[in-house]
Structure 1
Amino acid sequence: MRTADGPGRTGPRPAPGGADRLRRTASRWEDVLSVGLGLLVAVGLLAAWLAGSSAHDRVLERGATEAAERNAVEAVVTERATSVADVQSGLQALTVSWTAPDGSARTGGTSLPGMYQVGDRLTVWVGPDGQLTPPPSTPTDAVTVAGAAGFMTLVVWGVALVGLGHLGFRWTGRRFARAWELDWADVEPQWSGRRTP
């Protein structure tokens, strides 16, 4: 009968010592930790998908509500007030005039991408009160927000898993190191010829 001690060795299997128990326990915990982390990765992917899907739906709903409340109207550029900062950001500060839904003439300031001259016609969005307002959220906005929400969920979940894995494998690593110390304490006196008192 061969034992785990090596090829050609016969006889009864030696009783496991403290080091063997430590190694077996640490090995079991590493297996559990690996499987658990794998499952948590799958849960994190699902959570990211759900977060992105939920954010997408919310932005689409908000866009539908905004589109129902806001109107696109034609405006005329009456003044250019572009600062250096606006030009660098790709926006041009303008004063525009438009006719509100109630028929009254309005004037207001806005910043829009592109370059406009006085007298140019453009489309602006106004709210129920006739004042300038940002355009409604679009499906492109919904996709952008969904991607950001999913990505941030993955980042937060990933950081948590890396921390959990680090702590878990550090704990098992200490147990393996302790098992090695126990083995070395048994072998070192025989290997070095040094007698222990």
Structure 2
Amino acid sequence: MHHRTPRAGGNPLCREADRTRARLRVGLVVACLLAAICGIGVGRSAWTDSRRAAEEVASHRHSVQAVAVGESAHRAGTGLTGRPVSVAPVTWRDTAHRVHTASVPVPAATRHGDTVPLWIDDGGNPAAAPPGAAETALDAIGRGAGASAVGMLAAGAFVGARLRGVDRRCARAWEREWESVEPRWSGRLRPGQGTGDD
């Protein structure tokens, strides 16, 4: 004969708190999946935007060969690393064939007469190299991962708070139930209870 539990598909030993915990855990898994999907969307959008911005920057950057007109020297570094950099006076021609001279970062062993690659802007001034594909990809991955992490952390904090609330309610209910069972189980009297009271 087929055995049926009192509640269809339910476990008679499963309390409402257990079902709430199970629902919260399933909700956390769903929220984490949604956060991952949102992170992928943010990463794709960041990749598209960063690539478009890199292409815009690259359209205004030009690579030229500059000629060192002096010896390289070390200069104290700036920024986060603070490493010293080698600089040397160099000269170059821009896209309009105008001659420019400035001190720019160069490889450490650069000597007078050596040629060094240099990125310039439309005005012929030294400029940073346009972002490459690796830099763009790392930026997109970082943004996507950050968005996913924020979503997952928020979901985890919410579910954790709700689980602590369920645990507190269970502990209070257990204390109330234990107060009614413990005197009979242990044989001790409750305050205000006489020896003949039940």
Q: Taking structure 2 as the reference length, what is the TM-score of the superposition?
A: 0.78
RMSD of Structure 2 on Structure 1 (CA): 2.7
Alignment match, 2:73: 81
2:69 match: secondary structure: strand
Assess, with a 3 A threshold, how the Cα gap between structure 1 residues 116 and 38 changes in structure 2: closer, same or farther: same
Q: 1:72 aligns with which of 43, 63, 87?
A: 63
Alignment match, 1:194: 188
- Quick one: which amino acid aligns to residue 74 of structure 2? T
Q: Which runs of 5+ in 2 are unaligned?
A: 7-13, 194-198
Residues paired across the two proteins, number: 178
Alignment match, 2:131: 137
Assess, with a 3 A threshold, how the Cα gap between structure 1 residues 144 and 179 changes in structure 2: closer, same or farther: same
Matched, 1:98 2:89: no
Matched, 1:127 2:118: no
Q: How much does 1:193 deviate?
A: 0.7
Q: How much does 1:194 deviate?
A: 1.8
Matched, 1:39 2:33: no
Correspondences of 1:134-173 after superposition (within 5 Å) = 134-173=128-167
Assess, with a 3 A threshold, how the Cα gap between structure 1 residues 163 and 66 changes in structure 2: closer, same or farther: same
* Partners of 1:69 and 1:128 within 8 A in 2: yes
Assess, with a 3 A threshold, how the Cα gap between structure 1 residues 158 and 129 changes in structure 2: closer, same or farther: same
Assess, with a 3 A threshold, how the Cα gap between structure 1 residues 54 and 171 changes in structure 2: closer, same or farther: same
2:105 match: secondary structure: strand
Bigger mean CA deviation after superposition, 126-135 or 27-36: 27-36
Alignment match, 1:20: none
Cα shift readout 1:65-89 (whole Å, capped 9, x = no counterpart):
1222221111112342323547973
Cα shift readout 1:43-66 (whole Å, capped 9, x = no counterpart):
111121112211211221112112
Distance 2:141 2:59 in 1: 26
Q: How much does 1:31 deviate?
A: 2.2
Alignment match, 2:41: 50
Distance 1:166 1:92 in 2: 53
Assess, with a 3 A threshold, how the Cα gap between structure 1 residues 164 and 114 changes in structure 2: closer, same or farther: farther
Distance 2:90 2:183 in 1: 92
Q: Taking structure 1 as the reference length, what is the TM-score of the superposition?
A: 0.78
2:130 match: secondary structure: coil
Q: How much does 1:140 deviate?
A: 1.1
Q: Which runs of 5+ in 1 are unaligned?
A: 5-12, 14-22
* Partners of 1:57 and 1:142 within 8 A in 2: no
